[in-house]
Structure 1
Amino acid sequence: MNRAAFKPPQNTALPHSFRLIRLGRAREHDHPEGEPTIGYIIIAPLDTMSRIDVETWKAHREACRVVRKRPGEHEQLGHLVRGPSDSWRFHYDVAGAAADEAGYHFGNERFRLGEYVSVHEADGMHPYRVLAVSPL
């Protein structure tokens, strides 16, 4: 099956606060130097403090996307959704009952170049580093 790589939307109708955020696996036991090919691309609105803007997200939920990138695997495209207790989750558009991945304290995290965030995945919590933040 030939699948095209993810291409971010062109921002013609979205608020100017929408950003393309690239996360790469940070240093941890299995990746002592980090691994930028394991990561995520997040399309989300950020406020003036570089946090996810909840009100803009509510108005443009369909545009708030996530792409899961793993070497040797097809990209998984999903949505950035609000979970219980103001948490954020990555919900993928896949057949079956794949579990959501959760951003650890994403509501309080600042998505700025070089900052670290954590994502709870099927095999546990992993650190990620913000590799890029750019306007759409």
Structure 2
Amino acid sequence: MGLSRIVMRLARNPGTEFADGDDHRGYALVAPLTPDGRLDELAFREHRNDCIARRFAPDEDPVEGRLARRGERWFFDYDDSREVDEPVYRLGEHRFAVGEYVSITDEDGRLLTYKVTEVQPV
């Protein structure tokens, strides 16, 4: 299967400054998906260099990185260090379909929920 562009926007996160969510904060990914909308590990191996992760927010410059995998763990990598920059809770088990939710640990260590708002073939 080919690559897909996936957009996730900050969902409601009660108890944080994002209690009502924020459509202007989120992530845009390019990744291969299986027919049921999950990350395609085999296709990822072939398209690793094309799999990007971009974090966006109105009060900061966009941060460009890549989708990465180490062992069974998927994450967003913004530099070439060995550290995991932004781990995504059970990313390999998520279904990327409009309306689904994904939890991401941000750069401050907070686990925040994002809603998939777009999935389009690249």
The TM-score, its normalising length taken from structure 2, stands at: 0.89
Residue aligned with 1:32, SS: coil
Residue 126 (1) aligns with residue 112 (2): yes
Provide the residue aligned with 1:13 in structure 2: none
Which structure is higher in strand share?
2
CA distance in structure 2 between the partners assigned to 1:74 and 1:47 by the alignment: 31
Runs of 4+ in 1 over 6 A off after TM superposition: none
Shift of 1:71: 1.2
CA distance in structure 1 between the partners assigned to 2:85 and 2:19 by the alignment: 26
Residue 34 (1) aligns with residue 18 (2): no
Shift of 1:97: 9.0
Gaps of 5+ in 2: none
Residue 111 (1) aligns with residue 110 (2): no
Computing the radius of gyration over CA atoms, which structure comes out larger, 1 or 2? 1
Provide the residue aligned with 2:77 in structure 1: 91
Amino acid in structure 1 at the alignment position of 2:102: V
The number of equivalent residue pairs is 119
2:47 corresponds to which of 40, 52, 60: 60
Provide the residue aligned with 2:5 in structure 1: 20
Shift of 1:98: 7.9
The TM-score, its normalising length taken from structure 1, stands at: 0.80
Aligned partners of 1:99 and 1:122 also within 8 Å? no
Report percent identity of matched pairs.
34
